[in-house]
Amino acid sequence: MRHFLKETDFTAEEVAQIFELARHYKRSRGAHEKPLAGQTWGMIFAKSSTRTRVSFEVGIHELGGNPIFLSTNDIQLGRGETISDTAKVLSRFIHGLVIRTFKQSDVEELAQHGSIPVVNALTDFLHPCQIFTDAFTAAERWAGPSGDLFASLKGRKVAYLGDTGFNMANSWILGANLFGMKVSLGGPASDAPGEEIKALAAKSGGTFQFTSDPYEAVKDADIVYTDVWASMGQESESKIRHDRMMPFQVNKKLFAAAKPDALFMHCLPAHSGEEVTQDVLDHPRCVIFDEAENRLHVQKAIVATLAKMR
């Protein structure tokens, strides 16, 4: 049984195939094959979502499957039923499971005790569906209409600014290594990547740069990336995090210090005037809505690939 719990659950060759399949689904939307015909996929969400929820629901439907949304406010998991029992029970009904929650270990436990593919739709530790989509979005531009998407990423540099100690930064550390990219993280020393992600990166031979100088981070970058400073679950720390991350705000001046053709990316939702200024969000090289759209195409390719691997 194969799962997508972290970026490195797929090999580089598999990611290359997923990207080409996503391009195919994007081009033939509404007219492509339906590999999930007759299947039902569950979607457990313990946190809010716009993009992830809607893109998975629409995507599973477009692949011929039936998505069911399971808020933890409604299912017994939210009232203390164990993850292990939830995994065993759901495996008797459905063909795959998408989950957004807090702890990465909960997602791993679900995969371990169930007998269906599990997809990580964001934890505090990682957001792998987002990072695959972001890489695909850049590759679409760099490879052109018929070039090799995956190969176009090789040697490119992503600069990640702001909250360098949470899910999006961690996912770039694992993702960049898998895609053959370089990653430089610019954030406060107090928010440097933690031991767990460092160990995981080392295991897969990955390297990254961490600096508290935002200009050093963006130097020669092909992608400038940021995310909110207070993620879901950190709302009570908003003020203190805002103050310490302000030097890493992506504004016009910092964006201009990257490569002249650099792309600006953000997973969204964005807080204009905080981690990014409005002039950068309005910039012609800001591709945030392409990233949002591509969640649909890339996740369809991920789900279809896992369904085929069963």
What is the contact surface with ligand CP in residues (CB under 6 A)?
Answer: 49-52, 122, 130, 267-268
Q: How many CA atoms lie within 13 A of 51 on its CB side?
A: 23
Tell which residue, 163, 182, 243, 251, has the closest CA to residue 215: 251
Residue 267 within binding range of ligand NVA, rule CB under 6 A: yes
Q: Is the CA virtual torsion 40, 96, 288, 233 positive or negative?
A: positive
DSSP for 48-64, please give it. Answer: --SHHHHHHHHHHHHTT
Nearer to ligand CP, 91 or 101 (CB): 101
Q: Taking CB within 5 to 8 Å according to partner kind, which of ligand NVA, ligand CP, none is near residue 167? A: ligand NVA
Stated as kind and residue range, the H or E segment containing 102 is none
**Neighbour-count burial of 127, counting CB atoms closer than 10 A to its CB (0-12 exposed, 13-18 middle, 19+ buried):** buried
DSSP letter at 268? S
Longest C-alpha distance within the chain, in Å?
Answer: 55
* Catalytic annotation present for 234: no
CB of 186 to ligand CP, least distance (A): 21
Q: State yes or no: is 29 an active-site residue.
A: no
* Phi-psi map region of 203: left, alpha, beta (phi>0 left; psi -120 to 50 alpha): alpha
Can 130 be counted among the known catalytic residues?
yes
Per the annotation, the verdict on 100 as an active-site residue is: yes
Burial class of residue 178 (count of CB atoms within 10 Å of its CB; 0-12, 13-18, 19+): buried
51 vs 241 by CB, closer to ligand CP? 51
Owner of token pair 């996740």 = 299
Active site residue 267: yes
- Which does residue 227 bind out of ligand CP, ligand NVA, none, counting CB within 5 to 8 angstroms by kind? ligand NVA
Q: Which residues pair with 55 in a beta bridge?
A: none
Quick one: what does residue 68 bind among ligand CP, ligand NVA, none, with the CB cut-off 5 to 8 Å set by partner type? none
Smallest gap from Cβ 168 to ligand NVA, in A, equals 5
**Based on CB atoms, which residue is closest to ligand CP, 143 or 265?**
265
What token pair was written down for 128?
Answer: 């792998």
- Beta carbon of residue 167, minimum distance to ligand NVA (angstroms, whole number): 5
Is residue 69 within 8 A of residue 53, CB to CB? The reply is yes
Q: Of the residues 23, 100, 241, 266, which is catalytic?
A: 100
Distance CA 209, CA 155 (A): 14
- Least CB distance to ligand NVA at residue 126 (A): 10
Identify what 50 binds: ligand NVA, ligand CP, none; CB under 5 to 8 Å per kind: ligand CP
- Respond yes or no: is residue 241 known to be catalytic: no
Cα-flanking dihedrals φ and ψ of residue 149, to 5°? -60, -55
H-helix or E-strand containing 278? Answer: helix 278-281
249 contact, one of ligand NVA, ligand CP, none, CB 5-8 Å limit per kind:
none
Binding mask 224-253 for ligand NVA (x = CB under 6 A): ---xx--xx---------------------
Nearer to ligand CP, 9 or 57 (CB): 57
CB closer to ligand NVA, 89 vs 281 = 281
CB of 229 to ligand CP, least distance (A): 15
Which residues, 156 to 215, sit near ligand NVA by CB under 6 A? 166-168
For residue 137, how many C-alpha atoms fall within 13 Å in the half-sphere facing its CB?
Answer: 28
Shortest Cβ 49–ligand CP spacing (Å) = 3
Which residues of this chain interact with ligand NVA, rule CB under 6 A? Answer: 122, 166-168, 227-228, 231-232, 267
Active site positions, annotated: 100, 127, 130, 227, 267, 295
